[in-house]
Chain A
Amino acid sequence: MNESLTVQVEGLSHWFGIGAMRRQVLQSISMQIAPGEVVLLTGPSGCGKTTLLTLIGALRKVQQGDVCVFGHQLHGSHRGQRQQLRRHIGMIFQGHNLLRCLTAEQNVQMGADLLPELSYRARRDQARYWLRAVGLDDHLSKLPHDLSGGQKQRVAIARALAARPQLLLADEPTAALDSVTGREVVDLLQGLAREQACAVLMVTHDPRIVDVADRLVQMEDGCLLPTLG
């Protein structure tokens, strides 16, 4: 295993269901992501993109094959090890998944709170810094329900980045947004990730945003298609 790679996947297979209902969703997938690389994963729905994302994101148990994130083998890892590892992985969801009872600033601080060495004030400053970075300095104390879809997604990005991840996983971050807002959000994501030298793996259907990628990976029926460019 190459320690210097952010993500290294070798011969990863995954099944859902049990008994007669057991169905293979991933078939010996191998891929790598280098630090700071922006990789776009596309493919028809139901081809296993999200499953791959959750396996790399240490959200699921690996059944067969090797998944190494930051040099940590996930195959056979405990729940606690995966949880610890997730602190270094930022996640952006299709729905923004913000905490409804927290303001924008508090939501972002929930991300910053995962940094153990910082004081409360420093973590709050972090949260403000990232909200400024995504252009929401005027909306610090608004609740998610007072924000527009694009603003919510930008808060979610700020929250993911506030934990200073080395890997960012995004599942169709533009799905709920119109094309202009979607473009803005992706540009922002790419720019900020570059600044932090943070690798990005983004699942998307949206053909308008493929140009932000360093590399495009296509998937079909649980297999990766040969790399295009």
Chain B
Amino acid sequence: MKSGFWQGRRIPLAWLLLSRQPLRLMVALAGICFAGILMFMQLGFRDGLFDASVTVHRLFDADLVLMSPRSMSSISMSGFPRRRLVQAMAHPDVQGTTPVNWNFLLWRNPETLKTRSILALGFEPVDPLFTDPELAAKAKSLTSRGRVLFDQRSRSEFGPIAEWFDEGRIVETELAGKRVRVTGLVSLGPSFGADGNLLTSRETFLELLPSTSPGSIEIGLVRLRPGADPQAVTRSLKESLPNDVQVFTRQDFIDFEKNYWRSSTSIGFIFSLGAAMGFVVGCVIVYQILYSDVSDHLPEYATLMAMGYRLNTLMGVVAREGVYLAVMGYLPAYAAGQGLYALVRSSTKLPVAMDPPRATLVFSLILVMCMASALLAMRRLVDADPAEIF
């Protein structure tokens, strides 16, 4: 085995061809790195936005979710009769329900006094809302009127609420034209549709938004008995409930929202197109570099062929150049991607992170880019006619 390896060892021609022309190598690597960063950014934004569209959706303590069929997404919610939740309770597998009001209200920044739209969720403080167990204790403070829990990960345009609250100050401001007091902080995160979030009781919610009918809710959370089959309960609820309400499993509820952003908006297309542009630009750069590299060394390749080297061996050299370029270009792109993701996270609070599938995807794309370019450049090798070098 070992002797076979040493037997197969050759002069690392591909590596030497690249490394002995440092300027050309740097240009190639800069190009690949640029393409890689572009792909990381575009794909990162795309996935981040889709993920961000469901930051709140993921937190709900629910096995099934009821929603009005007229609700298209988190930014256009319609109400449905709260009675449907009571009817759902009749199903033997349903253990508990939580009615939730969901709407956007104008929040006044207590520092700058500018208003901005914030997502407000109204629920009965005694009902479970999120799977996070800490919420129950904080929710008790909502039983008094005009109290809200503010999402400390909301964008900074809503004001330094968290800082003030942590300093022990009484934070009061205007929400939908009425005075409210922040009695606690929660950690949810901004989503694509909402720059910030707050939780309040249904009572306060209805007071803030008097046009909402007390019997109408936007979301109904349904918790099932342990061991119950969500699919089966969904089917039977769909049959028993009138068609003014839709039944989703938890995952379908998340996918429904993501799907809205994916299909009803051009976000997915725009960012995929951006990534494709990066790919194409990278292809052009790598092809140019490899093609001119092969062209410049054509007499040398022809000499090797005259010496008895096979065309396949020489193609292998070009292919190896492609692999080296891919790996050497990917590493700085990965590092830069990490840095830029951190920057995006801190400045937009979008949940953009380097996840292994995307890191793999971008590497595969760069590898495909380099290998496709190498394949095209190899066609030039066929022009190397050993008879012409005498």
Question: Which A residues fall within an 8 A CB radius of B?
Answer: 50, 53-54, 57, 59-60, 80, 83-89, 91, 93-95, 97-102, 106, 109-111, 113-114, 116, 118-121, 143, 159, 163, 171
Chain A's closest residue to B296 (CB) is A100
Whether the pair B11, A106 counts as a contact (CB closer than 8 A) is: yes
A119 touches B7 (CB 8 A): yes
Q: Are B16 and A114 in contact (CB under 8 A)?
A: no
Q: How far is the CA of A171 from the CA of B386 in the complex (A)?
A: 14
**How far apart sit A98 and B389, CA to CA, in the bound complex (Å)?**
12
Alpha-carbon gap, A159 to B304, bound state (A): 11
Contact status B300-A97, CB under 8 Å: yes
> Which one, B7, B310, B311, contacts A120 given CB within 8 A?
B7
A-B interface pairs (CB < 8 A), number = 82
With contacts A98-B300, A101-B17, A119-B3 known, what are 8 further pairs, Cβ within 8 A?
Answer: A83-B311, A85-B308, A97-B300, A97-B389, A99-B303, A109-B11, A111-B307, A143-B20
Contact A93 B390, beta carbon cutoff 8 Å: yes
> Which residue of the partner chain, among A83, A116, A118, A121, contacts B305 with CB atoms under 8 Å?
A83
Which A residue sits closest to B4, measured CB to CB?
A119
B17's nearest neighbour on chain A, judged by CB, is A101
What is the interface residue range for chain B against chain A? 20 to 34
Q: Which residues from chain B contact A102 at a C-beta distance below 8 Å?
A: 11, 13, 16
Q: Are A114 and B307 in contact (CB under 8 A)?
A: yes
With an 8 A cutoff between CB atoms, is B265 at the interface?
A: no
The proximity string for B residues 300-320 relative to A, scoring 1 for CB distances below 8 Å and 0 otherwise, is: 100111111111000000000
Please state if A171 and B390 are interface contacts (CB–CB under 8 Å): yes
7 smallest CB-CB distances across A and B, nearest first, come from A87-B308, A101-B20, A86-B308, A120-B9, A59-B387, A97-B303, A54-B387
**Contact A101–B16 (Cβ < 8 Å):** yes
Cβ distance B132 to chain A, nearest Cβ, rounded Å:
61
B306 and A59 contact, CB distance less than 8 A: yes
Report the separation of the CA atoms of residues A106 and B16 in the bound assembly, to the nearest whole angstrom: 10
| Chain B residues within 8 Å of A85, by CB | 308
B385 to chain A, nearest CB (A): 8
Which A residues are CB-close (under 8 A) to B303? 93, 97, 99
| A60: B residues at CB distance < 8 A | 387
CB distance from A82 to the nearest CB of B (A): 9
Bitwise interface map of B from 6 to 22 toward A, beta carbon under 8 Å scored 1, else 0? 11011101001100110
List, in ascending order, chain B residues with CB within 8 A of A88's CB. Answer: 308
Also in contact, A120 and B308, with CB within 8 A (given A94-B390, A171-B390):
no
Counting chain A CB atoms within 10 Å of each CB, which of B304, B306, B308, B389 scores highest?
Answer: B308
Which residue of A has the minimal Cβ distance to B302? A97
Question: Among the interface residues B3, B299, B300, B310, which one has the most CB atoms of the partner chain A within 10 A?
Answer: B300
A86 to B306, CA, bound (A): 7
Contact A119 B307 (CB under 8 A): no
CB distance from A142 to the nearest CB of B (A): 13
